[in-house]
Structures are given as structure tokens and as C-alpha cells.
Amino acid sequence: MRVETPVEVVLLLASPRHRYEGRPADGALPADGPELRDRIELRAGLGIVGDRYFAARAHVHATVTVIGVEGLEEVGRPLGAAVDPAATRRNVVLRGADVEALRGEPFSLQVPGEEPVLFRGYRPANPCAWMDHEVAPGAFRAMRGRGGVRCDPESDGVLTLGPAVLRTTRPVPLPAPPR
């Protein structure tokens, strides 16, 4: 991969339980222990160790979700709300690159002291109706096109919070902010 982009890993989430089930008005199911992590382990073709989608056949090509915090900030502006990235339930939240451009692309993330983790981006991580309840009213619609990308790890590895390098086959600069 030819293009290196410095990014920051701002959030890592691994949840053993799918918490957005049933009707949003009933609220999310309780967490089974801590979900926000300083470090996650990934296994090629399987996902994040300890996450609800690890080795889940129904989630082939969708075991890891990656989203950009800049898109969430854009979502929050017209809603008049600060979007809590953890409420989106995405596994990896990055700052510094256009994550939406990773759909259909190979890429890698490397944190200091670790080998790069290879990924393949697949389809959009489309928002669900839960976003209106857990993020802010109107978030479901506002997150369309900014919900991140579903991907699979193609190598074993580790990600940690903090600085990282995103390697891609083409540039993935952030879009210009709206005027």
C-alpha cells in the first residue's frame, strides 16, 4: 500500500453482546462488562476477540466496523448535539482520514510497537433507527453516508488507542468542511 496517512485511534469497542435489540423506545440492553478498550486483538477472517461478531457467520465481511469521528461531528452540528462515538457501536473510531472512502478497498492500520493489521473494506455500515434514540433525534437520517465501513481483518494483530498510520492504495483525505 502506497499512501500513508497519520490518524488517531480515538475509540475501540468490543462488546460480547448485541445491545440494540427490540424496540429503541425500550432502551438498550445492559452491557456485559466494560466495552470500551485501550487495546483490541484481531484475528484474520474472524474479527475482534471478545466481540459479538467474532467468527459470526451471519456477519461475513462485516466483523469489524470503522467510522470517522469527523463525520460524527458533522452529524451533530445540525442536530445541536455532540455525538458520543460509543453510542454508534462502531468498533474502531478514527480521526484524520475519510473512512467512507475505504469501502471496497484494502487498507491497514498500524499502531506504534505493533505490526500492521490488514483489512478489506466492504459495504457501508448503514445506521439503524436506534441512532435516533441513542445518539440524538434525527441521527438515523443524518448518519446516512457517514456510518462508517464494514470490514474484515485479513491478518492477526493488535490496535491500541492513540496515534496510528493508515495505509491505503490511494489518498483518503478528509472532505472539505461545508461552508
- pLDDT value of residue 88: 86
- pLDDT value of residue 8: 98
- pLDDT value of residue 19: 66
What's the pTM? 0.90
E strands within the chain? 3-12, 39-43, 47-48, 64-68, 92-95, 106-110, 117-124, 149-153, 157-160, 162-168
DSSP code of 130?
A: H
- pLDDT value of residue 29: 64
CA–CA separation, 76 vs 65, rounded Å?
20
- pLDDT value of residue 69: 94
71 in Cβ contact with 100 (< 8 Å) = yes
DSSP code of 140?
A: H
- pLDDT value of residue 141: 85
The CATH architecture assigned to 3-15+37-168 reads: Beta Barrel (2.40)
84 in Cβ contact with 105 (< 8 Å) = no
Average pLDDT of each block of 10 consecutive residues along the chain (179 residues)?
94 84 72 88 96 84 93 85 86 96 97 98 84 78 87 98 98 73
Task: Please state the domain extents for the chain.
Answer: 3-15+37-168
67 in Cβ contact with 148 (< 8 Å) = yes
- pLDDT value of residue 81: 83
